[in-house]
Chains A and B, each alone.
Chain A
Amino acid sequence: MVRAFQEGVIVALVGAILAFAANAFSPRGLKLSRDYFPKISQPAHAVTTGTGPSSSATNASTVDEQVLSRLKEQGLQAVDTPAAVALFNDPRRLQETIVFIDARDAEHYQKGHIPGAYQLDYYHPEAQLPQVLSACQNAEQIIVYCNGGTCEDSQFTAVMLRDAGIPPSKIHVYLGGITEWVKQGHPVELQDRNSGALQPSKTSP
Chain B
Amino acid sequence: MSTRPLMDRVFSLARVALGALFIYMGLNKALHPVEFLKLVRQYEMVSDPFILNSIAGALPWFEVFCGVLLMAGIAVRGTALVLIGMLVPFTLLILKRALAVSAGQQIALCAIRFDCGCGTGEVLICGKLLQNCGLILLSGFLAKGLGRSFALRYTLFSPKDPGDSKPLMQSAAAS
A, B from the same assembly: yes
A residues with a Cβ closer than 8 A to B are: 3-12, 14-16, 18-20, 22-23, 26, 28-37, 43-45, 105, 123
Smallest CB-CB A-B distances: 10 pairs:
A7-B78, A23-B57, A19-B61, A4-B77, A30-B57, A8-B81, A8-B78, A19-B58, A22-B61, A19-B62
Of all chain A residues, the one with the shortest Cβ separation from B145 is A4
Which residues on the B side are within 8 Å of A30 (C-beta)? 33-34, 37, 53, 56-57
Residues B41 and A32 in contact, CB atoms below 8 Å apart: no
- In the complex, how many angstroms separate the beta carbon of A15 from the nearest chain B beta carbon? 4
Residues B49 and A35 in contact, CB atoms below 8 Å apart: yes
Of all chain B residues, the one with the shortest Cβ separation from A122 is B34
Interface segment out of the listed B4-12, B13-21, B125-133, B153-161 = B153-161
Residues B62 and A4 in contact, CB atoms below 8 Å apart: no
Q: Of A5, A33, A37, which is within 8 A of B41 by CB?
A: A37
Residues B81 and A22 in contact, CB atoms below 8 Å apart: no
Residues B53 and A32 in contact, CB atoms below 8 Å apart: yes
* Candidate in A6, A16, A19, A35 with the most chain B CB atoms within 10 angstroms: A19
Q: Please report the C-alpha to C-alpha distance between residue A87 and residue B127 in the assembled complex, in whole angstroms.
A: 47
Which residues on the A side are within 8 Å of B57 (C-beta)? 20, 23, 29-30, 32
Within 8 A of A (CB), among B22-37: 30-34, 37
